[in-house]
């Protein structure tokens, strides 16, 4: 085994171990366990079936994301589904332990040769931008509908978002565009500019059909993890599935576009969920528990799975080598 392959294996193993330790720490230091235990004693009936369904939807969610990544990265290399799945999980792992999940593209890029990494990072960012466009569109849709339902709580949310001065939003967008143009002018003409423009050429190979396919998978994936949350909230007392989608869309918009702290965002997610769902029929412990289950199934569990599988795989390989060893 050459040094490059050995170094990559050591790096991926270290990421898996660090992720496992961090998730364990977050679960150990979570302060809501007493409230959870008391709440679950009164609401345990049917929870197992609900968790099995959410667990099944986790595989669909992960499969959609893997296929989406497989389509995006094929402009760089043709990657089998199993390999693409490993890359997605590496992205989840590194995103979990970095601020605002900035490590996700780097985790995926680490699985490729160094010369391909700039293009892989750009493709990962493109996938994230497409996901954020879908989330933003549904957030705006939810804001528009919230004031037309006749529900007092949703009317309050709609009024809160409507109170934001549109001129401030437009001004912020203009400032952001000017900063991007200024940064581009600063780096234009040097080696960094040449490398960036070379990496951006990867987008030339995408057709309209490719973009529509990836966009469709992105949309379906968004609806799947929204459905997961709805199922959990319905179990914990959400009165209406149809009206429940509106605050769920608002919740995902909030956790996407508000600053996050990577692995620590389970606490931020819970606080935002309590604010958005706090006036519904769902109790506080139910809201936090549903939020934590979503975080656990969609982020924590996929992230720690390699660390759990690695010792088993090593043991099986060791036993196999001993079994087939030629007797002397």
Q: What is the pLDDT at residue 212?
A: 92
Quick check: 294 and 229 in contact, CB under 8 A? yes
Query: Which DSSP letter does residue 326 get?
Result: P
pLDDT digits (tens, 9 = 90+) for 94-104: 887 776 677 88
Q: What is the pLDDT at residue 327?
A: 52
Quick check: 231 and 54 in contact, CB under 8 A? yes
Q: What is the pLDDT at residue 59?
A: 94
pLDDT digits (tens, 9 = 90+) for 178-198: 776 776 666 665 665 566 666
pLDDT at residue 244 is higher than 60: yes
pTM assigned to the model: 0.74
- How far apart CA 241 and CA 18 sit, in angstroms, is 38
Mean model confidence pLDDT for the chain: 76
DSSP 13-81: HHHHHHHHHHHHHHHHT-TTHHHHHHHHHHS-TTHHHHHHHHHHHHHHHHHHHHHHHHHHHTTT----H
Does 309 or 133 have the greater pLDDT score? 133
| Contact partners, residue 65, CB within 8 Å, separation at least 6 | 88, 221
Which runs of consecutive H residues, i.e. helices, occur in 74-165? 81-96, 103-109, 117-146, 152-162
As a whole-number percent, the residues of the chain with pLDDT over 90 amount to 17
pLDDT digits (tens, 9 = 90+) for 128-157: 888 988 998 998 888 877 766 555 556 665
| Contact partners, residue 34, CB within 8 Å, separation at least 6 | none
Q: Residue 88: exposed, middle, or buried by beta-carbon count in 10 A (0-12, 13-18, 19+)?
A: buried
- How far apart CA 296 and CA 292 sit, in angstroms, is 6
CA-based torsion, 48, 300, 283, 162: positive or negative:
negative
What is the band of 262 on the pLDDT scale with cuts at 50, 70, 90? very low
- How far apart CA 23 and CA 312 sit, in angstroms, is 20
As a whole-number percent, the residues of the chain with pLDDT over 70 amount to 61
C-alpha distances out from residue 232 to 25, 150, 241, 287, Å: 24, 24, 11, 9
Query: Taking the CA of residue 303 as centre, how many other CA atoms within 13 Å lie in the half-sphere pointing to its CB?
Result: 30
Mean pLDDT along residues 91-95: 85
Query: Which DSSP letter does residue 325 get?
Result: P
pLDDT at residue 263 is higher than 50: no
What is the band of 10 on the pLDDT scale with cuts at 50, 70, 90? low
pLDDT digits (tens, 9 = 90+) for 20-56: 666 566 666 666 667 667 767 766 677 888 999 999 9
């Amino acid at each position: 085994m050459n040094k490059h392959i050995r170094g990559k294996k050591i790096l991926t193993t270290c990421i898996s171990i660090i992720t496992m330790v961090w998730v364990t720490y977050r679960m150990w230091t979570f302060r809501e366990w007493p409230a959870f235990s008391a709440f679950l004693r009164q609401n345990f009936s049917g929870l197992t079936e609900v968790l099995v369904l959410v667990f099944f939807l986790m595989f669909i969610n992960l499969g959609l994301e893997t296929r989406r990544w497989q389509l995006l990265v094929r402009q760089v290399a043709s990657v089998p589904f199993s390999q693409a799945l490993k890359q997605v999980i590496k992205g989840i792992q590194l995103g979990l332990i970095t601020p605002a999940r900035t490590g996700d593209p780097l985790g995926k890029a680490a699985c490729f040769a160094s010369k391909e990494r700039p293009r892989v990072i750009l493709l990962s960012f493109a996938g994230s931008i497409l996901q954020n466009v879908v989330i933003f569109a549904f957030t705006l849709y939810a804001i528009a509908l919230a004031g037309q339902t006749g529900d007092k709580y949703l009317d309050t949310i709609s009024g809160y978002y409507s109170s934001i001065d549109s001129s401030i939003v437009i001004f912020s967008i203009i400032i952001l565009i000017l900063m991007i143009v200024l940064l581009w002018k600063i780096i234009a003409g040097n080696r960094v500019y040449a490398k960036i423009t070379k990496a951006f050429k990867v987008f030339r190979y995408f057709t309209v059909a490719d973009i529509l396919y990836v966009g469709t998978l992105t949309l379906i994936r968004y609806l799947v993890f929204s459905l997961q949350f709805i199922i959990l909230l319905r179990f914990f007392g959400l009165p209406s599935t149809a009206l429940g989608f509106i605050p769920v869309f608002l919740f995902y918009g909030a956790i996407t576009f508000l600053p996050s702290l990577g692995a620590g965002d389970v606490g931020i997610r819970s606080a935002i969920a309590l604010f958005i769902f706090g006036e519904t029929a769902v109790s506080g412990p139910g809201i936090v528990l549903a939020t934590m289950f979503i975080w656990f199934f969609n982020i924590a569990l996929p992230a720690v799975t390699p660390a759990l599988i690695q010792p088993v795989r090593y043991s099986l390989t060791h036993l196999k080598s001993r079994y087939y060893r030629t007797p002397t």
